[in-house]
Amino acid sequence: MFSVYEELFISLMFIPAAAGAIVGMIPIKCSGNVAAFLCGTSAFFGILSYPLYLYGGDIAFTFPLPSAWGPYSILIDELPAMMISLSSAVFLAVLAHMIFSVSVSAEGRYSSTICALFISCMLAMCADTVILLLIAWEAVTLSTFLMASGKNGAAAWKFLVIAHIGGLMVICAFLVMLSYSGDHTLSSWSDLGNAMGLPASCGAIALLFMGFGTKLGLIPFHVWIPDLYASAPTHTSALMSTVSSNAAVMILFKSIFGYIGVSEGMYVLAVILMAASSFTAVWSALESLVQTEPKRILAYSGMENMALVLLCFSIGILFSDGGSPGLMTVVLVAGLFHVMNHSVFKSLMILAVGSAEDCTGETAIEKMGGLAKIMPAFSLVALVAVLSMAAIPPFNGFASEWLMIQSMMGGEGIHMTEIILPLGVAVLGISGMMAAVSYARLYGFMFLGRPRSEKPVSSKVGTAVLVPMAALALLCFAMGIFCSQIMEKLARGVAAATSIPSDDSFVNHLSGTLNMPIMAGILLMAIFAAYVLSRAFRKKSARSPTWDCGTPLDENMQYSSMGFSQPLVRVFHPLYGDVVEISDDESSENRKRYSIKFAEPFVEHLYVPIGNLIMRGARRVGSTQNGNIQTYLGYILAVLVVLLVAVRFV
């Protein structure tokens, strides 16, 4: 409506980041921080997109220079506006953390790729033409790769290749859609499924699912995730698992439910997708239990959360068959809400873990412990993140998981879902609980107990980093408390982005029997009352060493994190493929050291054989180039004879 403001807003949102990307390339000392600051400016304006949307409606902009594939235009309507605002907030927090961390002096190149990531993620979320969407999406991959290729080149390469496979799947799906639509403008696409027919639309949906699944960690495309998280800089992982996941989910959602449009008859597809995402959820939760590095735990937990989001989407497809638009809206809102929540609590947790790693100089969970006493404020914000991740009321993780279960429970009785939905709930329950276990493990063994190594803990991250973290923690709380309002807004956005017929029945589910503010109020009051009442007794409290049966406790006499997850490992033993390795312990004679190795079965039984097969094939092909000119001429003769005969007889 205010076209001048639109242009002003768009330029304020993108030009500083673009400038930052260039400034970062200049090889002077402060260029990194300047670029990060510029990107922060952009992110700040990005936050304004939702308020602006509420104030002035859709924000549209078209770049004056056209591409080979039509113009570059962007359109920010309700859903993108929400996502952009939230992602920008997360981005800003991560940037602030980066700038405030005294241990990390932002490298120019790194900041410049962060700027590129900002631009590409935001463009991917609000792109309105196919080419912009595809370029932005691939640019997300590229900038993530550039941000990650620090320590472990192989991990970054693995990411790049798998993400590229995914990118090609996405590209193919969009090209199929384009071939039916013929129009480059995405906002004019709706219900292409009618024109495409069932097989093509199912194929396109499956491609999109897998394509974005590579970024979100859908099995078996997940193998890059743990390694990359473990080796990439903290801020890379924080942004990768939040902002780019937001973009992926957002585009996936718009493509499946908006552009293609689900229709009846997709039952089988929905069940397959549900199976894939459920499997991913349970599997990654299981794997997260046995990881020895905090970042790897977070990597698997990110996969688990994204798998739940994908589960929501596939249930959404299922509901389309049952003809229940209201429930479909609810389950889609649950998915979108969960990805938003995830981006907040996950970035918070990654930042907390990153800071903790900076302070201790350790990356193994076995070497940490007792940080809560040294860094109480950190441990408090980390606790908020853990509680959110474990879906504990009143934090935001609970709100979206609640809505997921709510929609599934509400969905029973719908055609053909009798057995599937209970299984979905079971998956949600078991993976959610397992995730909670692994967060308890993460928190318990990093922050609680006694230190497990004698290394001194330095507080070199400074206290300023607490500001963005506290902001994120507050956001976790606020998004939990105001979940009903957010859900309603999301439902409106879903209705606008898709052609799901509006059905008021979803309103009952959205906030029906959950009143978070009051429930949280009662909980807090009850806790407070318990505190006050028991304080009334005014008793002394003394400190003494932990009860130890009389022997002094050393740092090895604590439950170990691997031991903590042993019972579950034993229960789910057949799934883990763990191997006990026995080696001689050097330190003491005649002693054996037993250690458990957990191999990623998908690497071992899928990727390695396929890789070997491809390499063997390539070497065989390579042996045709044997250096002998006679052989070469023989090829020409052979192909000539074969083609001539073929032309003659075919």
Partner 1 sequence: MMIDVEIILLIPAAAALLSAVSPKGRAASVSVIGSAAVLIASIPMCIRAFEGTVTEYGMWYVDGLSSLFILIIGMIGVMSAMYSRGYLLRDKEEGEIGTGDIRQYHIMFNLFLATMLSVCVVSSVGVMWIAIEMTTLVSAFLVGFYRRNSALEAAWKYLMICSVGITLGLVGITLVYASSSHILGDDPGALNWPILFEAASGLDPVLIKMAFVFIIIGFGTKMGLVPMHTWLPDAHSQSPTPISAMLSAALLNCALYAILRFQMIAEATVPGFASALMIGFGILSLAVAGAFILISKDIKRMLAYSSIEHMGIITIGFGIGTPLAVFGALFHIIAHSVTKSLVFFSAGNVIQGYGTRDMDSVRGLGKSMPGTAFMLGAGTLAIVGLPPFSVFVGEITILSGAIGAGMYHIALLIAAFIVLVFAGFTRNIFSMMRGEPSGKIKAPRGILRMLPMTVLFLITLFLGLFMPEQMSDALWSIADWFTGAV
Partner 2 sequence: MDAAISGNLIDLCVVAMLLLSMLAMTTTRIAQLLNAFAVQSLFLAFLAFVIADSTGHTELFIMGGITFAVKVIGIPWAMRNTAMRLHAGREIDSTMGIPGSLLVSATLIIVAYLVTEPLMATVDTIARNCLAMSMSVILIGLFMMVTRRKAMAEAVGLLIMENGLFLGVMSISYGMPLVVEMGIFFDVLMVAVIVGIFALRINKAFDSIDTSVLRRLKE
Partner 3 sequence: MIEFVLSAAQSVLMIALAPLFAGILKKAKARMQHRNGSSIFQPYRDVAKLLRKNETVSESSSLLFRFIPYVCFGSMVLLSLMTPFFFVDVAAPYGDLISMVYIFTLYRLMMVLGGLEGGSVFGGMGSSREMMMSVLIEPSLLLSLMALAGLTGGSTAVSDIPRELIGMGVIVLAPALVLAASSFFITLLAENSRVPFDNPSTHLELTMVHEGMLVEYSGRGLGLMDLSSMMRLMIFSSMLCTLFFPWGMALTASPFAIFVGLAAIFAKVLFVTLAIALIESYLAKYRLFRLPNLLTASFALSLMAMISLYIL
Interaction site with partner 1 (CB under 8 A): 27, 65-69, 131, 134-135, 138-139, 141-142, 149, 153, 156-157, 160-161, 164-165, 168-169, 171-172, 175-176, 178-179, 614-615, 617-619, 621-622, 624-625, 629, 631-633, 635-636, 638-640, 643-644, 647
Does position 336 bind partner 3 by CB under 8 A? Answer: no
126, two tokens: 């609000």
Tell me the C-alpha to C-alpha distance, in Å, between residue 265 and each of 256, 277, 316, 318, 570: 15, 20, 13, 9, 41
Integer distance in angstroms from the first to the last C-alpha of the chain? Answer: 64
What is the Cα–Cα distance from 261 to 245, expressed in whole angstroms?
22
The item of partner 1, partner 2, partner 3, none sharing an interface with residue 176, based on CB under 5 to 8 Å by kind, is: partner 1
Please choose, from the candidates 251, 250, 263, 254, the residue with its C-alpha nearest in 3D space to the C-alpha of residue 193.
263
In whole angstroms, the minimum distance from the beta carbon of 163 to partner 1 comes to: 10
> To the nearest whole angstrom, how small is the minimum distance from the Cβ of residue 455 to partner 1?
27
Residues in contact with 256: Cβ distance below 8 Å, sequence separation at least 6, in sequence order: 205, 208, 209, 262, 313, 316, 317
**10 Å Cβ neighbour count for 457?**
18
5 interface partner picked from partner 2, partner 3, partner 1, none, CB below 5 to 8 A per type: none
Q: What DSSP string describes 101-133?
A: -SS-PPPHHHHHHHHHHHHHHHHHHHB-BHHHH
Which residues are at the interface with partner 2 (CB under 8 A)? 622-623, 625-631, 633-634, 636-637, 640-641, 644-645, 647-648
Q: Min. distance of Cβ 614 from partner 2 in angstroms?
A: 16
Q: Which is nearer to partner 2, 4 or 636 (CB)?
A: 636
Tokens of 302: 């990110």
- Number of other CB atoms surrounding residue 564 within 10 Å: 18
Residues 84-123 that bind partner 3 (CB under 8 A): none
Residues 6+ apart with CB under 8 A from 374: 359, 457, 459
Nearer to partner 1, 529 or 615 (CB): 615
Q: Which does 16 bind (CB under 5 to 8 A by kind): partner 1, partner 2, partner 3, none?
A: none
Distances (CA, A) of 80 to 94, 413, 493: 20, 33, 9
What's the closest the beta carbon of residue 151 comes to partner 1, in angstroms?
10
Select from partner 1, partner 2, partner 3, none the partner in contact with residue 325, using the beta carbon and a kind-dependent cut-off of 5 to 8 Å. Answer: none
Residues contacting partner 3: total by CB under 8 A:
87
Cβ proximity to partner 3, 325 vs 369, nearer residue: 369
Nearest to partner 1 of 125, 384 (CB atom): 125
Q: What is the DSSP letter of 266?
A: -
For 604, the 3-state DSSP assignment is helix
**Residue among 237, 240, 405 nearest 308 (CA):** 405
Q: Which does 419 bind (CB under 5 to 8 A by kind): partner 3, partner 2, partner 1, none?
A: partner 3
Shortest Å distance, C-beta 179 to partner 1: 4
Residue 641's binding partner out of partner 1, partner 2, partner 3, none, with CB under 5 to 8 Å set by partner kind: partner 2
Neighbour count for residue 594 (Cβ, 10 Å): 9
Q: Which is nearer to partner 2, 536 or 650 (CB)?
A: 650
Q: Is the CB of 95 or the CB of 176 nearer to partner 1?
A: 176
The item of partner 2, partner 1, partner 3, none sharing an interface with residue 178, based on CB under 5 to 8 Å by kind, is partner 1
Compare residues 541 and 624 and give the one whose CB is closer to partner 2. Answer: 624
Q: 3-state class of 596 per DSSP? A: strand
* Closest C-alpha to 511, from 403, 408, 405: 403
Of the listed pieces 174-182, 249-257, 351-359, 558-566, which binds partner 3 according to CB under 8 A? 558-566
Which of the residues 432 through 451 are near partner 3 (CB under 8 A)?
A: 432-434, 436-437, 440-441, 443-445, 447-450
The helix/strand/coil state of 588 is: coil
Lookup: tokens for 305: 């959360």
* 574 contact partners, CB below 8 Å, separation of at least 6: none
- Closest CB 622 distance from partner 1, rounded Å: 5
